[in-house]
Amino acid sequence: MRCRYCQCTDSKVVDSRPTEDGTAIRRRRECTNCGRRFTTYEKIEEMPIIVVKRDGTREPFDSSKILRGVRKSCEKRPVSAAAMDELVEEVVREINNTLEQEVTTIKIGELVMKKLKDLDEVAYVRFASVYRDFKDSNTFFEELKKLLGEQNAQ
Ligand SMILES: [Zn+2]
């Protein structure tokens, strides 16, 4: 397990416990080089979930891809790394809970969008614009207008 701060590969485990859904072990580690602590998740059993992409091709499910997308959407927004991790964890849990072997990228996108909307509206619109693959900026602004309309209605 590589330290995410100094890239050192040697760390000691200071705490381990299973995640809520029981599919992984959450480990708190301390880097032996820089002394900083970080958390890792190790899967207990590999859930063979396959992602079906828009063009029909398939690839193994990879939660780090979701996290990358979420991070990108949350750039320069007041969203903590912990909140992003948590969002991705929730999405993964929901996908696992469906007990389906295949999940579409559209479904994943919808789950992420639903949660991002509560977390940060700007991040939500950014994510939606990439994920829904809006054909033109009009569609994007329609979505934005709907979102702002909802805000005004509250
Ligand atoms: Zn380190």
- Tell me the CA–centroid distance for residue 12 and ligand 1, in Å: 11
Rounded distance from Cα 88 to ligand 1 centre (Å) = 24
Instruction: Find the 10 Cα to ligand 1 centroid distance in Å.
Output: 8
Ligand 1 centroid to residue 71 C-alpha, Å: 22
pLDDT digits (tens, 9 = 90+) for 4-21: 899 898 999 998 888 877
**What is the model's pLDDT at position 143?**
66
Q: Rounded CA gap, 152 and 146, in Å?
A: 10
Kindly give the distance from the C-alpha atom of residue 34 to the centroid of ligand 1, in angstroms, as a whole number: 4
Q: How far is CA 98 from CA 26, 60, 107, in A?
A: 22, 16, 11
Question: In this structure, are strands 102-104 and 50-52 parallel, antiparallel, or unpaired?
Answer: parallel
Reading the block at residue 27, the tokens are 């480990």
CB 147, CB 127: distance < 8 Å: no
Q: How far is the CA of 33 from the centre of ligand 1 (A)?
A: 5
Helix (H, G, I), strand (E, B), or coil: what is residue 102?
strand
So where are the chain's domains? Answer: 1-46, 47-153
Ligand 1 geometric centre to CA of 67 (Å):
22
Element (H, E) at 60: strand 58-60
pLDDT of residue 137: 55
**Residues lower than pLDDT 70 in the chain:** 44-47, 99, 132-141, 143-144, 147-154
Centre of ligand 1 from the C-alpha of residue 28, in Å: 13
**Those residues with Cβ within 8 angstroms of residue 31's Cβ, 6 or more apart along the chain or in another chain:** 3, 5, 6, 8, 10, 11, 37, 38
Distance, CA 16 to ligand 1 centroid (Å)? 19
Position 154 scores a pLDDT of 47
Encoding tokens for residue 62? 């990879």
- pLDDT at residue 48, as a whole number: 72
Question: How far apart, in whole angstroms, are the C-alpha atoms of residue 22 and residue 25?
Answer: 8
Ligand 1 centroid–CA 35 distance in Å is: 6
